[in-house]
Amino acid sequence: MNRVTLRQLEYFAAVGKTGSIARAAELVNVSSPSISTAIAQLEEALGLTLFVRKRAQGLSLTQAGRQMLAQAGRVLDEAEALNRLAGDIAGTVRGPLAVGCLLTFAQIILPGLRRGFESRYPDVQVRQFELHQLEIFERLRSAEIDVALSYDLDIPQDLHFVPLVALRPFAVMARSHPLAELPEVTVEDLKDHPMILLDLPHSAEYFLSFFAETGARPKIAERTRDMAVMRSLVANGYGYGIANIRPLSDRAPDGKPLVFVPLAGGVRPMQLGLVMAKGAEALLGIRAFVAHARDYVTAGNVPGIEPAGERA
């Protein structure tokens, strides 16, 4: 029998979990042809058919494939444990690290944070994933990612959250908005004006809680799951938005100006931090990433972050 490689097992496990070569390629950050070649080589080496190919439904595991997937998972877990043990013994941060990030601020924080970490620890191979909050929880539980940058929004009890910085909310407005000249606004000020709600899981509930706590009801004019779309709708006069991180530019994607007014009145700041499995900080690589992220965020490297209690 030809030798089976860990890489082939990794690609096989990705296809087994996703049921799709394209989604598996996205998961492990390689091309689809590389996945297909590895699966074909693995089936040849094992002398087994691992998948049933269905043109409309993707790939389904055969009975042999299901058994092999369970064993492949154990082999990959042991291989990763060996790598991490070797790093711990040598005191060296190395090996793969899969990092998730809430997509609403991934473009602002993650690339610079990742670059600094890889420069500091060149033996680490980082893969990044931009996700919604629910996807972050799911992928942490399935060990598809090791750690994720997110907010403290409904963190499940089986996961651990490490806070980095508390961010106060602000209203995003067009320059022509009647409240744009105020030094700060309250929920009472906003409730009679149209709102553009950033309608993402957990985030929407957080923004709407400001109104619920005062007994007010917002006038939701539009809903969007895209931060950039929200800013453009606001800039074009369709309503105000609420956010906790502002872009470096005070302009919407279409070039129109925006105004960012602090939200006053005892509204709860949002904690930006890291989510991981319980006990994950015992691993040297994750512990190093947590320390680096804390240094990076608190040193003022991230544009648009104004900690709660401070003013720019």
What letter represents residue 229's amino acid?
V
Q: How far apart are CA 153 and CA 150, in angstroms?
A: 8
Q: Is 193 helix (H, G, I), strand (E, B) or coil?
A: coil
Give me the helices (H) in the chain, please. 6-18, 21-28, 32-46, 63-90, 106-120, 133-141, 187-190, 203-212, 227-235, 284-298
Residue 311's pLDDT is: 44
pLDDT band at 87 (very low <50, low <70, confident <90, very high): low
pLDDT band at 57 (very low <50, low <70, confident <90, very high): low
User: CA separation (Å) from 2 to 45, 50, 138, 274?
Assistant: 5, 16, 35, 42
Residue 309's pLDDT is: 53
Question: Can you list the domains of the chain with their CATH numbers?
Answer: 6-87 (1.10.10.10), 92-166+270-298 (3.40.190.10), 169-262 (3.40.190.10)
Average pLDDT over residues 151-177: 92
Q: How far apart are CA 307 and CA 312, in angstroms?
A: 9
Average pLDDT over residues 51-77: 84
Average pLDDT over residues 232-249: 91
pLDDT, tens only, 186-197? 999 999 999 999
Q: How far apart are CA 186 and CA 192, in angstroms?
A: 11
pLDDT, tens only, 117-134? 999 999 888 999 999 888
Please determine, for residue 172, whether its predicted confidence score (pLDDT) is greater than 80. Answer: yes
pTM: 0.67
Residue 306's pLDDT is: 61
Lowest-confidence region among 78-87, 119-128, 303-312: 303-312
Q: How far apart are CA 273 and CA 294, in angstroms?
A: 9
Place of tokens 């496990």: 13
Question: Which of the listed ranges 203-217, 219-233, 281-295 does the model predict with the highest average pLDDT?
Answer: 219-233
